[in-house]
Amino acid sequence: MASNKSSLDKAIAYVGILVGIAGIALTLWLFFVFSDILDSLHQTSINQVDTVISVLHDSVDIVNYSAASIDSMAEFATDTSTALEYSSDALEGMADAVEGLAGSIASIPYMPSETVDPLYTTASDISDTGDSIAETAASMETASGDVLSATLGLQTLQGDIENSITGLEDTKKDLNNIHLTAKTGLTLGMVLLILVFALNSLMFYRQLK
């Protein structure tokens, strides 16, 4: 009976040792599996963030290009408005001169109206053209103001995009920290499990003595 009990104890001890070794092997296998999963998830997340950052950088370039183009348009509109105002003033002056000339000619005795009327008509047409150019100049000045407003909007948009890029860079740091923490926890868990299985195997090994 004692011999049977001793054989049973040895069998249990051998089984315990094998379970401990199997546990250590399983722990190591799970460690590498979960470690690869963590690395894969981390890399995928980083790649996605990098893709978004790249798109935002491209957006900043587009905004900068658009702002530069709009600045050129605003400058063109301002210069054109100024030139048109000068033209309008010149035409108004010319209209006044023609009208004055018509008045002088009309004061000549017995001057036919057929000679004077065309001059008045010409003065009126020149004045109307000057007024039209003045309106165009005002429109160009308004357009210049609208363009400048658009530039300010683009500058605000650029600032928002750059803030988003900064936030995503911080997110990358957070992802790296999370990955490091998870890998550290996984490693410590593996070490603890290996120690538990190793101690369990040693306890059963001592029973064989």
Q: What's the confidence (pLDDT) of residue 209?
A: 65
The mean pLDDT value for 72-78 works out to: 73
Q: Which domain holds residue 176?
A: 2-207
Confidence bin at 29 (pLDDT 50/70/90): very high
How many domains are there within the chain? 1
Rounded to whole angstroms, the Cα distance separating 35 from 185 reads: 11
Beta carbons within 8 Å of 19's beta carbon, 6+ residues apart? 197, 200, 201
Say which range, 11-25, 95-109, 184-198, has the weakest mean pLDDT: 95-109
Beta carbons within 8 Å of 155's beta carbon, 6+ residues apart? 67
The token pair that represents 28 in the structure block: 């190591």
Who has greater pLDDT, 127 or 199?
199
Rounded to whole angstroms, the Cα distance separating 2 from 69 reads: 99
Task: Report the SS3 class of residue 107.
Answer: coil
We report the CATH number of the domain holding residue 87 as: 1.10.287
Rounded to whole angstroms, the Cα distance separating 91 from 154 reads: 39
Rounded to whole angstroms, the Cα distance separating 126 from 128 reads: 5
Give the mean pLDDT of the chain. 79
Confidence bin at 188 (pLDDT 50/70/90): very high
Q: How many CB atoms lie within 10 A of CB 179?
A: 17
Spatial contact of 187 and 6, defined as CB atoms under 8 Å apart: no
